[in-house]
Copies of this chain bind each other. A is one copy, B any other.
Amino acid sequence: MSETVLTPPRENVEPKTLVEGAYQRLRRDIIEGVHPPGEKLRVEHLKDQYDVGAGTLREALLLLVTDALVVAQGQRGFRVAPISIEDFEDITRTRILLETEALRQSIALGGEDWEAGIVAAFHRLSRAEQKLGGQDDYVHTAAEDWEKRNRAFHDALIAASPSRWIRHFQNILYQQSERYRRISLFRRPIPRDVHAEHEALFDATLARDADRATAILAEHILRTLESVRHMPTDFFTSPAKH
């Protein structure tokens, strides 16, 4: 578990330990909905599924508590963190608060490297957005790809913020919102034209117009909330298997 705290992307980091490996796989499965919200996570079953010992799996679950993807209740085991429309609203608003502040700091302090990083990330994202208009055959992998680049773009925007804490919290919230987005994407793929928004955000940021950039960013994040709001009403009645 190299660099477990206050260090954003332990995404593609090669796991140095069995605990870290199980942690990564479990997290992916929770975000992708393999383990739906509210599901009981029984160590005895999961240890076979993930091919590690019981103690090791417990430790992986404990690490997931850090990301608030798993909740632990003493003497009563672990569960996948539940979801709700209220929670997603909270996540979205808090993300706006943190991400706009980080963007403001970046615009104030960012140098040439920061700008170059944004240009590159925007370019890659634009290409991915083009592909989304392609055949339905590629939709799934293309969406997966777009997801990664979208995140990379957002990360690049705030990369010049000196606040490790804001980035840490922003990270947790992004991960959380990804879980919601995956679910809504599953039903209604690519609901809106995001490219124009990204371009406006890109322009305002490089023009160092902090007020305009943060306004666009806030609006941009808020729109995701809308697309989840229009889900079937019974959607958030957590399955709570068993």
Name A residues whose Cβ lies closer than 8 Å to a Cβ of B: 1-6, 15-17, 20, 55, 58-59, 62-63, 65-66, 68, 70-75, 81, 87, 90-91, 93-94, 97-98, 101, 162-166, 168-169, 173
In whole angstroms, what is the CA distance A206 to B15 when docked?
A: 52
28 contacts between A and B (CB under 8 A): A1-B72, A1-B73, A1-B74, A2-B74, A2-B75, A3-B73, A4-B71, A4-B72, A4-B73, A5-B65, A5-B68, A5-B70, A5-B71, A6-B68, A16-B74, A17-B74, A55-B55, A59-B59, A59-B62, A65-B66, A90-B163, A93-B163, A94-B163, A94-B165, A94-B166, A97-B101, A165-B173, A169-B169
Residues of B contacting A71 in the complex (Cβ-Cβ under 8 angstroms): 3-5
Supposing A16-B74, A163-B94 touch, asked if A5 and B62 sit within 8 A by C-beta, the answer is: no
Task: State how many angstroms separate the Cβ of A86 from the closest Cβ of chain B.
Answer: 8
Number of copies: 2
In whole angstroms, what is the CA distance A90 to B6 when docked?
A: 12
Supposing A20-B74, A59-B59 touch, asked if A5 and B162 sit within 8 A by C-beta, the answer is: no
Q: Is the CB of A162 within 8 A of B90?
A: yes
In whole angstroms, what is the CA distance A68 to B169 when docked?
A: 12
Task: State how many angstroms separate the Cβ of A149 from the closest Cβ of chain B.
Answer: 26
Q: Which of B3, B15, B17, B65 is within 8 Å of A63, CB to CB?
A: B65
In whole angstroms, what is the CA distance A132 to B212 when docked?
A: 49
Task: State how many angstroms separate the Cβ of A171 from the closest Cβ of chain B.
Answer: 12
Q: Which of B4, B70, B90, B164 is within 8 Å of A164, CB to CB?
A: B90
Residues of B contacting A62 in the complex (Cβ-Cβ under 8 angstroms): 59, 62-63
In whole angstroms, what is the CA distance A94 to B66 when docked?
A: 19
Residues of B contacting A4 in the complex (Cβ-Cβ under 8 angstroms): 65, 71-73
Residues of B contacting A20 in the complex (Cβ-Cβ under 8 angstroms): 74
In whole angstroms, what is the CA distance A104 to B173 when docked?
A: 21
Residues of B contacting A63 in the complex (Cβ-Cβ under 8 angstroms): 62, 65
Task: State how many angstroms separate the Cβ of A17 from the closest Cβ of chain B.
Answer: 5
- Assuming A65-B66, A165-B173, what are 13 further A-B pairs, CB within 8 angstroms? A3-B73, A5-B70, A5-B71, A5-B81, A6-B68, A17-B75, A59-B59, A63-B65, A87-B164, A90-B165, A97-B97, A97-B98, A169-B169
